[in-house]
Amino acid sequence: MTALALLHGLTGGALIGLGAAMLLLVHGRIAGISGILGRAVNTDGGRTIRLGFLAGLIVTGAILAVLQPSAFGAGVRGAPALAIAGVLVGIGTTLGNGCTSGHGVCGISRRSARSIVAVMTFMGSAALTVALVGAHA
Amino acid sequence: MKTFVLAAFAGALFAVGLVVGGMTIPAKVTGFLDVGGAWDPQLAFVMAGAVAVYAACLRIIRRRAAPLLDARFHWPAARTIDARLVGGAAVFGVGWGLSGYCPGPALASLGAGSSSVLVFVVAMIGGMALTRVLIPAR
């Protein structure tokens, strides 16, 4: 890995942390993307926050895709495998109450025992999956 | 309106971070997960940077009685480590390893216009909805 890749990683991570911290400071909410998406239109008082966050995430991604297309990679597998993967991610994050952001970034920072167990579990099963099926088709 | 715009700004920062960090390149993510193969450690630095900044901000934000635009902080209520947490996380990891997409990067990649990420996101929302219908929330 090059020094530039290291710098990209740390800078990107810092910005993710800042975005998540802003959601907590302003709105008092954990920046867990699966929860924000899964409960997007729930009527519990947080709908505007969730829809705003999702709009910012998706629109900014779209703008960056125009400015820097090389920052977006192609799918590593065909559509059938990606559909199966999507269903698994949807089911798993809903049952497990979180993904890489909610359990990973926010949960580890809060030293939540649940999140630490969740992260070790999904990192383990993800690494095992790649070991079994390869990093790409 | 203010609520929407400020939340959108937080989402925008998050998206820039994902893109700069390399999370919107699925091959980089599966390369990170490929610990026994051609391991790409970059994403470990993304996670380290994110946790370092968020944890530091958390120390300061926690001193406040309430967030800026709400009466209280909405901390997660669940405390127990049960089969549902571990099983859910395990299933999520299989989907993540198979595709290189977790929910944030997939959403941030939607606008790049690839049909593969669209398939993934539609299937993910379907999986979320199905789980909520079939299995009642705790």
Entry pTM? 0.97
Q: Model ipTM?
A: 0.97
What residues in B contact A33, CB-CB < 8 Å?
102-104, 107
DSSP state of A75: P
Per-residue pLDDT of chain A (137 residues), as tens digits, is 789 999 999 999 999 999 999 999 999 999 999 999 999 999 988 999 999 999 999 999 999 999 999 999 999 999 999 999 999 999 999 999 999 999 999 999 999 999 999 999 999 999 999 999 999 98
Within 53-72 of A, beta carbons closer than 8 Å to B belong to 53-65, 68-69, 71-72
Residue ranges of alpha helices (H) inside A2-135 are 3-27, 33-38, 47-67, 79-95, 108-109, 113-133
**Do residues A15 and B13 lie in contact, with contact meaning Cβ atoms separated by under 8 Å?**
yes
The 10s digit of each residue's pLDDT in B13-71 is: 999 999 999 999 999 999 999 999 999 999 999 999 999 999 999 999 999 999 999 99
